[in-house]
């Protein structure tokens, strides 16, 4: 069978691309999952700008259980916390599996979706109009199709990138673990409209934990997760301990006699946008292209944006515009300076990676909690509105705390070398 474009991965990036390629192109989407709605390895929080981008082609509004107007930040000792509010929703929680399923159910007729289909490799034969031989196994049976172009939308550990030496691969990761339970969040004044970030410090170096309200099958539920640097993931706390801590602190109530609805672990690329994302026959998008916030670990926006940009550029490229793919990062930047956002995220990541002890995290907590009214405006909305966390940290009144913070950062350097980090 011959296709114009084969897309490996049917999640946010691959499905966005499949929706946007012109209807005269014959497109095949492969995904190794048996059912796309079984689970999606994401908490699924999206900002207003991402919501708007999705609303251009799917009914995202039907998959929003919670509109979030607050963030609760919890210190390393689990006792100190502060809340910051916004007037309008700053992020939305999504029913992620059903939203992705809806994206796949509404694919146009020129697109064939093949689930239970694991991509394994591809080979280039320049003498054929359909220059690529794409290999995958479907229900355990080896399959080959021919294609003019292939797209790696297959996540942080992309097999498409691995199959082609001229493409870059992600090298730095957080490992994200999440559990979903029926029940209630009990912390703060409005838990159905709040997400919580736990500053774990030494328990979960590299990120921390989160708690986010959702609704599953009409019942109140919550998602609870932690992420940490993958290279030292085994040294620190486990998610089951996090669940126990939240239960003991009466921050959550798991519905009686219910087990977790879901549990998963997945890699989050935090090394920044990759350099070599295309060659004459291939392009990487979404997490596979490193388009994920290195600090906030938010990748859905980059997936949707890169899917849209890729559709335009691949079409131009297949129509003979040889340099079209080279404009990839430039076109992504046009979406509210998204590439600049990723650069800023790399700076925050650099700083966060140097924080190795609870006292350093506690001092940063002290600094930020002083500006709690403004915190939310500066935080994730920075992607949409170009705000900066630095503006609430670098203030004259914070100088004594910043000196203390710098001293602890300095001491953390020795902690790093002790551990050989």
Ligand X SMILES: Cc1cc2nc3c(=O)[nH]c(=O)nc-3n(C[C@H](O)[C@H](O)[C@H](O)COP(=O)(O)OP(=O)(O)OC[C@H]3O[C@@H](n4cnc5c(N)ncnc54)[C@H](O)[C@@H]3O)c2cc1C
Gap between the Cα atoms of 34 and 268, Å rounded: 22
Count Cβ atoms below 10 Å from residue 416 Cβ, excluding itself.
12
Q: What minimum distance in Å lies between the beta carbon of 265 and ligand X?
A: 7
Asked whether position 191 contacts ligand X by CB under 6 A, the answer is no
Asked whether position 75 contacts ligand X by CB under 6 A, the answer is no
Q: Which helix (H) or strand (E) holds 354?
A: helix 338-354
Asked whether position 119 contacts ligand X by CB under 6 A, the answer is yes
Asked whether position 72 contacts ligand X by CB under 6 A, the answer is no
Which residues, listed in sequence order, are joined to residue 114 by a DSSP beta bridge? 30
Give whichever of 65 and 225 is closer to ligand X, judged by the CB atom: 225
Q: Site mask, ligand X, residues 126-155, x = CB under 6 A?
A: ---------------------------xxx
Asked whether position 102 contacts ligand X by CB under 6 A, the answer is no
- 13-52 binders of ligand X (CB under 6 A): 13-14, 30-33, 41-45
Give whichever of 293 and 360 is closer to ligand X, judged by the CB atom: 293
Size of the site for ligand X (CB under 6 A): 36
Asked whether position 159 contacts ligand X by CB under 6 A, the answer is yes
**Which residue is associated with the tokens 């000196």?**
403
Asked whether position 170 contacts ligand X by CB under 6 A, the answer is no
Quick one: which of 20, 101, 118, 344 contacts ligand X (CB under 6 A)? 118
- 217-236 binders of ligand X (CB under 6 A): 225
Gap between the Cα atoms of 80 and 368, Å rounded: 13
Q: What minimum distance in Å lies between the beta carbon of 96 and ligand X?
A: 8
Asked whether position 11 contacts ligand X by CB under 6 A, the answer is yes
Asked whether position 176 contacts ligand X by CB under 6 A, the answer is yes
Instruction: Give per-residue burial for 118-148: e unless 16+ CB within 10 Å, then b.
Output: bbeebeeeeeeebbbebebeeeeeebebbbb
Give whichever of 7 and 367 is closer to ligand X, judged by the CB atom: 7
DSSP for 216-283?
A: ETTEEEEEEEEEEEGGGGGGS--HHHHHHHHHHTTSEEEPTT---SEEEEEEEE-S-S-S--B-SSEE
Q: Assign residue 160 a region (left: φ > 0; alpha: ψ between -120 and 50; beta: otherwise).
A: alpha
Dig out the tokens for 263 from the structure.
């549990």
Please provide residue 376's backbone torsions phi and psi, each rounded to the nearest 5 degrees. -65, -40
- 281-310 binders of ligand X (CB under 6 A): 286-288, 292, 297-300, 303
- 254-273 binders of ligand X (CB under 6 A): 266, 268
- 306-335 binders of ligand X (CB under 6 A): none
Give whichever of 42 and 377 is closer to ligand X, judged by the CB atom: 42
Residue pair 149/183 in contact (Cβ under 8 Å)? The answer is no
Which residues would be at the binding site for ligand X (CB under 6 A)? 8-14, 30-33, 41-45, 118-119, 153-155, 159, 176, 178, 225, 266, 268, 286-288, 292, 297-300, 303
């Amino acid at each position: 069978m011959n296709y114009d474009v084969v897309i490996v991965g049917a999640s946010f990036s691959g499905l966005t691309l499949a929706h946007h390629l012109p209807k005269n192109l014959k497109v095949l989407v492969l995904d190794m999952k048996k059912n796309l709605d079984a689970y999606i390895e994401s908490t699924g929080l999206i900002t207003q700008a991402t919501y708007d981008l999705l609303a251009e082609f799917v009914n995202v509004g039907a998959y929003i259980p919670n509109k979030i107007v607050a963030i609760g930040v919890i210190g390393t000792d689990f006792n100190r916390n502060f809340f910051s509010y916004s007037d309008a929703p700053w992020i939305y929680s999504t029913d992620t599996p059903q939203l992705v399923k809806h994206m796949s159910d509404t694919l146009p007729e020129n697109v064939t979706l093949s689930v239970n289909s694991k991509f394994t490799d591809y080979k280039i034969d320049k003498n054929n109009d359909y220059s690529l031989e794409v290999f995958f196994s479907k229900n355990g049976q080896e399959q080959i199709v021919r294609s003019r172009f292939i797209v790696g939308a297959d996540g942080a550990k992309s097999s498409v990138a691995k199959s082609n030496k001229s493409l870059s691969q992600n090298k730095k990761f957080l490992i994200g673990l999440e559990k979903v339970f029926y029940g209630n969040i009990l912390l703060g004044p409005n838990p159905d409209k709040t997400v919580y970030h736990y500053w774990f410090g030494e328990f979960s170096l590299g990120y921390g934990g989160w708690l986010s309200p959702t609704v599953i099958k009409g019942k109140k539920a919550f998602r609870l997760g932690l992420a940490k640097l993958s290279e030292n993931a085994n040294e620190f706390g486990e998610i089951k301990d996090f669940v126990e801590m939240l239960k003991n602190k009466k921050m959550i109530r798991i519905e009686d006699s219910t087990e977790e609805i879901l549990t998963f672990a997945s890699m989050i690329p935090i090394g920044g946008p990759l350099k070599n994302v295309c060659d004459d026959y291939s392009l990487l998008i979404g997490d596979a292209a490193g388009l994920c916030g290195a600090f906030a670990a938010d990748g859905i926006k980059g997936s949707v944006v890169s899917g849209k940009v890729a559709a335009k550029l691949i079409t131009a490229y297949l129509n003979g515009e040889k340099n079209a793919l080279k404009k990839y990062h430039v076109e992504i930047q046009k979406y509210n300076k998204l590439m600049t956002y990723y650069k800023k995220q790399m700076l925050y990541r650099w700083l966060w990676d140097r924080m190795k002890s609870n006292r350093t995290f506690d001092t940063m907590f002290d600094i930020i909690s002083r500006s709690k009214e403004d915190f939310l405006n500066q935080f994730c909305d920075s992607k949409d509105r170009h705000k900066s966390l630095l503006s609430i940290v670098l203030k004259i009144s914070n100088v004594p705390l910043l000196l203390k913070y710098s001293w602890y950062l300095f001491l953390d350097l020795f902690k790093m070398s002790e551990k050989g980090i």
